[in-house]
Structure formats: C-alpha cells, structure tokens
Amino acid sequence: SSRRPWYIKGITDRNYEGNLYLVSSKEEEIFGIRCYENISELPDKIDLSIIAINRNKLKNVLEQCIEKEFYTLHIFSAGLGEYDEKGEILEKEINELIDNSNTKAIGPNCMGVYSTGGRISYSPYFSEKECNDKCVSFVSHSGDLTTRYVIIENNYGVGFSNVASIGNSIDLGISEFIQYFNFHEKTDIIGAYFEGFSQFGTLKGKKLLETIKNNKKPLLILRGGVSKEGKRSVRSHTGTIASENNIWDSIFTQGNALKMETYEDLIDSTIAFKYCNNYPKVNSLLLITWSGGKAVIGVDRIINLGIKVPEIEITAQERMKEMISIGSVSNPLDLPWIGRREKFPEICKIAINEGYIGGTIFETIAPLNFDERHEIYYNNIIKISEYSKEAKKPFLMSLPFDNVIQREKLKDKFIKDNIPVFPNIERAARAFRNLYKYQKYVIEKS
C-alpha cells in the first residue's frame, strides 16, 4: 500500500461506501486509514482485493486470500508469464490455485477496475461522475491504453459504467466481461482491446465467438498482435498467445461486433456511438465546410474510405441557389460569408433531407474571439444539427487544431449540446462508417 497510495486515492476520494482495509508490513496508516500487518487480521469474504507485491511473495498471499474466501482478486503484480520462465511457472501455479477455489481473479500484470457506480477507480484522474446516459463499459489487456482511452473519452463527455484492465487474464478474460456488460443495465456501448488468449483453459476462441454472436449492444473491438512482429510483442506484454487472423475474420463475419482498425478509430467510434442516436441507412455523406481547399481534400479522404459523396440533385441545388448568390451547393456545400445569416441552416436543410444522404459532417475552426457574431454562427450550426436529428441522420463535427486553446473551448461547447467532435474530416468519416456498418451488418442482419 505504501508504494502506491494513488490506488487508495481512487477509492477514498470518491466517497466509497464500503469498508476499506489496508495491509502493509511497513506502514501503520495511510491517509489516516489503519494498516493491518497481516491478511489473517482481515474479515472473511472480502469483495475485492488489490494485490500489489513482489512476485516472490505472491503465491503465499493468494493462498491466504483464498483460504479466507475472498471473492475477487485483482493481481496488480507483474513479472509473471510475460517476463521469464520462472514467471511462467509461477503463473501456472497461481492459475491452479484459482481454478481449485471459488475465488475469481483478474490479472496478473494489470491496472484493475474503474466503476462509477461502485465508486472505485484504479486512477484518481478518471471522472467521478456516475454515468446515467449512453454509458460505456470497456475491457482491455493493456493498462496504459485503458488509462489514456478513459481520460480522452472523459474529455469528450463520454461516461463509463465499468472499466477493467485485465493484463495476462489467466482467469477472467474478455469473454466473461463482454457477457457481463451485455446484462449490465447501465452499459449501452461496449469496447474492448484484445491481444490474445491465456495459455490456460480450453476452447477460449469458441467461447469468444459465441459471446460475440450473442452480443446485443454496440461492441467495438480493437485487436493487437495482427502482424508477426505484433504477435511477438503480445507475448512479452501480457504473456498471452496471439490468435490467428482467420479466427478473427470468422468472429467479425459471424459475430455482432465492429472491427476497429486503429486506436484512434476506437476513440472516435466510441464518441460517435455516444452522441448519435440515429444510424445511417445510406453509406453517403453531406460535407459542409468553410474552405474550398479543405472541401476538396475532405472529399478525397471520404471517398478513400469507401463512403460516397453524392452530388446534390439539380432540383435541390436550384432551391438552394434561390437563397444565395455565391458558393457551391453541389456537395460539398462550400458557402463562404453566409454562416451568420438566417437562411444558412435552411440551405443546409434542403441537402440534409435528400434521401440519398446518409449523414452530415460539418467542418469549422475555432474563432480567435467568442463574440456576438460567432454566437450567431454557432446557433446556426446547432440548428443544422437539429435538422439532421429531425431527418434521423447523424451529424458529426470536424474541428481541427488550428487554435488549440479556443478549439478546446468550442469543443466543450459542442459536447454540452450533444454534438460529437472529431479532429478532422477523415476521422469523423471513419466514425460515420462504423455507424453505418452497425446499421447494415448488425441491426439489419438481426
């Protein structure tokens, strides 16, 4: 306990309502909480035990926890199957201990859990606010990836119900958590980062496939260890056995899950599913920009992703041209100098309502100053987003980092109004593509 007080802060600072027991052979108290010298002094059947000790003492401590019928063990300790042959042997012995008991375990070599409802967190930097709307639950083989993911998503207004960093996952694995998240009432979106299967147990691939087949919620999976070199890295990272690509081809083909191509894809798609209640029926986008050059580049990036940018039909173009004397209305809508005019949202509405348009990406930049003129422009964007919602189509905001400080302020403003924000057009388009895939390959298939 004394070496990792931040673990305790993630509990004490959140008004945790249960009993908290600390065990340390060196400290009498930490943050005013008494430290017990031995596990034998603790009550039986403790719900969650966080174990952060040298691996040489680990087996003995686990035996004591199991003897006292502790329900769940979070084994933070590393240096096991991912490290060397001695660690592999110890990991096997620990697995046998757990298998022959009623105790469950996550880890070893993992950061642990974050539960807003349970008021516990392995990191004091995660949001303390309990999530009540479009909540995410996440399970991951990587602790650092999990930490960064949660902090970034919190910064974009995404709330979490449950998060589990499970490391080497010699007992509870990805499948068990996805199953639990499916039954959890306050989980609306599920995310996972997967590296490989533990060397212990059998038919784990089959179990994962069945779990994903039975999944009923948006499930976003990022997989590491795809390449030969990546598989080698997996072995040294979590000691798991990287699965073959053909297994995952089958999982994504037969199961109800979306394949995330990159870490950024996972971040952006989580944001999209959080804020977009309507999924696109058509794989095409309307692009509204403030720059002709950015419009051209944006279209190229969207097309490269396999998404259409259809030209607006002539009759609709003629209706839009009746309201303006300058600008392009073919798609993209490049409409300089009219962003603050009352008719700007009405022009965009015509294009949004066209049946061959699946959704809208609107790109703008943060102003140097938030004055009355920008407030008018901002309110027009909000009105355009409302027209998209009325049409039951997703509306996504591209907000480049041209002015970092002001960009952050404007991003927060959009998030408060429930508009998803992305760093550029391509990342917004990738998120849109996953919304479309979910509609076509999961919702319509089922």
Q: Which CATH class is domain 112-275?
A: alpha beta
| Bigger pLDDT: 209 vs 249 | 209
Q: Does the 5-106 domain belong in CATH 3.40.50.720?
A: yes
How far, in Å, are 82, 204, 205 from residue 232 at the CA level?
Answer: 11, 20, 19
Domain ranges of the chain: 5-106, 112-275, 285-443
**126-172 residue pLDDT tens:** 999 999 999 999 999 999 999 999 999 999 999 999 999 999 999 99
Radius of gyration over alpha carbons of the chain, in Å? Answer: 25
Q: How confident is the model at residue 90 (pLDDT cuts 50, 70, 90)?
A: very high
Sequence-distant (6+) residues with CB within 8 A of 67 are none
**112-128 residue pLDDT tens:** 999 999 999 999 999 99
Looking at 3.40.50.261, 3.60.15.10, 3.40.50.10800, 1.20.1370.10, the CATH number of the domain 285-443 comes to: 3.40.50.261
Q: State how far the Cα of 273 lies from the Cα of 277, in Å rounded to an integer.
A: 7
What is the average per-residue pLDDT within 59-64?
96
Q: How confident is the model at residue 253 (pLDDT cuts 50, 70, 90)?
A: confident
Q: What is the mean pLDDT of the chain?
A: 91
Do the beta carbons of residue 47 and residue 75 sit within 8 Å?
no
**381-407 residue pLDDT tens:** 999 999 999 999 999 999 998 889 999
Sequence-distant (6+) residues with CB within 8 A of 383 are 345
pLDDT in the model for residue 284: 99
Tracing tokens 């990792």 back to the chain, one arrives at 4
Q: How confident is the model at residue 1 (pLDDT cuts 50, 70, 90)?
A: very low
Q: Which two tokens stand for residue 119?
A: 């008021």
Are 5-106 and 112-275 the same fold in CATH? yes
